[in-house]
Amino acid sequence: MEHLISLNDLTLEEIEQILNLSEKLKRQQKEGVIHHHLKGKTLGMIFTKSSTRTRVSFEVGMYQLGGYALFLSSNDIQLGRGETIYDTAQVLSRYLDGIMIRTFDHSDVEDLARYGNKPVINGLTDLMHPCQVLADLFTVYEHKGTLKGLKLAYLGDGNNVAHSLLHGCSKVGMDIAVASPKDYMCNEKIVEEAKEAAKISGSKVIITEDPVEAIKDADVVYTDTWVSMGQESEKQVRLKIFEPYRVDENLFSKAKEDAIFLHCLPAYRGYEVTEEVIDGPQSVIFDEAENRLHVQKAIMTILMGK
């Protein structure tokens, strides 16, 4: 593994390596064991999209690994003033040991990896969110003791989180059902990639417009905001279209009795999920948020600690 751009690029063994190291690093942190695997290393963090969990978890993670995280907003670097990705990648590769980028265009991440010579981590694009989904898989494993054979139901917008869930679940042998309105379904190419991976892992990929069909017998129920960054002008239209996909107590009850609830946050209570569900006893959203730290530490250690 040279970069983390898409979960579709990873083998099952590479995903398991990340999850196993995440478990080890989390346990060591709780025990007070110092693990400076990246002592003297520097991570450049490029943000053209703002963030809470991504910025804090990567900065704290680098500190706990003995390294240094350098925050670079689009206003802080020449990339935001028209410098090419090629020139930026070439220059940053001479200063840094790794680059994390959270941006709009997925091609920017791919180009940074193509033109530079240091590991690149996709902190989020409009197309994918692999770090989040690795944390999701780790959280499911902690609460269920396994991944293979479980069913995850995702209800809502066929967005970057849904895309990475399709890649991740199909790689590890989890069934995944995605329910979205007709005009808001997942990227067809990514669905096909997930179905190919599912043939190998023995899992199922279900794409439907029916939230009840998707959530039936689910071990994990997942949703995300209906209005992502950059879609604010569509808010009123989206709120009306997505209303049948709101995860309330009635819909959640159609999953398995011991199902857990996930949300990548930020959440808009009363829209995609009700307070009774997101604040209920089966919600593990804050374990999920914490696990961004441990998983990203594992990713950085594997990529930058060679």
180 is in an annotated binding site: no
130 is in an annotated binding site: yes
> Which entry of 37, 97, 238, 264 is annotated as an active-site residue?
264
269 is in an annotated binding site: no
> Which entry of 106, 132, 169, 263 is annotated as an active-site residue?
132
160 is in an annotated binding site: yes
78 is in an annotated binding site: yes
169 is in an annotated binding site: no
42 is in an annotated binding site: no
> Which entry of 37, 106, 129, 263 is annotated as an active-site residue?
129
Q: For the chain, give the number of residues.
A: 306
Question: Is 238 annotated in the active site?
Answer: no
Strand partners, 205: 176
> Which entry of 37, 167, 238, 292 is annotated as an active-site residue?
292
Question: Is 132 annotated in the active site?
Answer: yes
> Which entry of 224, 246, 294, 296 is annotated as an active-site residue?
224
Give the strand pairing for 220-223 and 151-155: parallel
Question: Is 129 annotated in the active site?
Answer: yes
Question: Is 143 annotated in the active site?
Answer: no
Question: Is 246 annotated in the active site?
Answer: no
265 is in an annotated binding site: yes
224 is in an annotated binding site: yes
129 is in an annotated binding site: yes
57 is in an annotated binding site: no
Question: Is 294 annotated in the active site?
Answer: no
Q: Summarize the annotated binding site for L-ornithine as residue ranges.
A: 160, 224, 228-229
Q: Summarize the annotated binding site as residue ranges.
A: 51-54, 78, 102, 129-132, 160, 224, 228-229, 264-265, 292
Q: Summarize the annotated binding site for carbamoyl phosphate as residue ranges.
A: 51-54, 78, 102, 129-132, 264-265, 292
Query: Which amino acids are annotated catalytic?
Result: 102, 129, 132, 224, 264, 292
